């Protein structure tokens, strides 16, 4: 193999990673449409309904839930760093976090994502008990649609984490393909985290 051919193989972009980025771009357009619907409906319905409905939201609770989700991006990235050095599991005591591998970091990320979903379900239950539902008014419709679709995306990410963890646990050795899968899943997880930050700002902070 010539030097030019070697360079071509090294610099050739991964097809799966490129495909994921393209797909996430289409998902970005989907959430952009939800944001447009949110602000358009707000303009049409007027500030009165928004002021009345947003009073039911608990910003401190949502802020805690948001913080957990944002920090899960950090733990996910540590898992990616471990995957890039082909370390699938920890090399020491469980308490030695600096020696954790991809499996430990991704397991922690999964738990943090599950905490976020549980918090969202709890928030839904509280809002419904206070009279805000999908069909109660325009605000309720757009609130549950926007946050609900995002919750489905987070759930999809949790399923992806489980699939990666099961495959790595069953594999005899951690391969380059598994490392690539780990990185691709991290792209998706960072995406849903960034989208939620925007949703949190639009729904909870901009009243």
Cα-trace Rg, the chain: 20
Does residue 146 register a pLDDT over 60?
yes
More confident call, 123 vs 46: 123
Sorting pLDDT into bands at 50, 70 and 90, what band is 7? very low
Tell me the residue range of the domain where 86 lies.
14-205
Q: How many domains does the chain have?
A: 1
54 domain residue, yes or no: yes
**Band of residue 207 on the pLDDT scale cut at 50, 70, 90:** low
**What's the CATH code of the domain at 167?**
1.20.120.80
Percent of residues, the chain, with pLDDT higher than 70 = 90
**DSSP-derived 3-state class of residue 195:** helix
Judged by average pLDDT, the poorest of 7-11, 80-84, 97-101, 123-127 is 7-11
Confidence of residue 6 (pLDDT cuts 50, 70, 90): very low
Q: Can you tell me the mean pLDDT for 170-191?
A: 87
Say which residue, 44 or 109, is predicted with more confidence. Answer: 109
Of the candidates 111, 103, 87, which has an alpha carbon nearest to the alpha carbon of residue 167? 103
Residue 72 lies in a domain: yes
93 with 126: CB under 8 angstroms? no
Task: Flag whether 160 is in a domain.
Answer: yes
- Is 8 a domain residue? no
Position 142 pLDDT exceeds 80: yes
Alpha-carbon dihedral of residues 187, 19, 200, 72, nearest 10 degrees?
A: -20
DSSP 137: S
Question: Residue 120 domain-assigned?
Answer: yes
CA 192 centroid distance within chain: 3
């Amino acid at each position: 193999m010539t030097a030019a051919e070697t360079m071509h193989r090294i610099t050739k972009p991964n097809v799966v990673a490129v495909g994921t980025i393209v797909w996430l771009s289409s998902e970005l357009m989907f959430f952009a449409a939800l944001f447009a619907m949110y602000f358009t409906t707000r303009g049409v319905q007027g500030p009165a309904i928004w002021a009345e409905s947003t009073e039911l939201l608990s910003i401190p609770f949502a802020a805690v839930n948001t913080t957990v989700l944002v920090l899960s991006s950090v733990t996910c990235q540590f898992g990616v760093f471990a995957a890039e050095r082909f370390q699938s599991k920890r090399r020491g005591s469980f308490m030695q976090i600096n020696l954790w591998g991809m499996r430990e970091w991704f397991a922690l990320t999964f738990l943090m994502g599950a905490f976020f979903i549980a918090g969202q379900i709890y928030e839904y239950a509280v809002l419904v008990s206070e009279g805000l539902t999908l069909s109660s008014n325009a605000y309720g419709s757009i609130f549950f649609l926007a946050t609900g679709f995002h919750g489905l995306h987070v759930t999809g990410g949790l399923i992806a984490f489980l699939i990666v963890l099961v495959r790595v646990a069953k594999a005899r050795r951690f391969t380059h393909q598994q490392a690539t899968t780990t990185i691709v899943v991290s792209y998706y997880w960072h995406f849903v985290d960034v989208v939620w930050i925007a949703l949190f700002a639009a729904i909870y902070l901009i009243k």
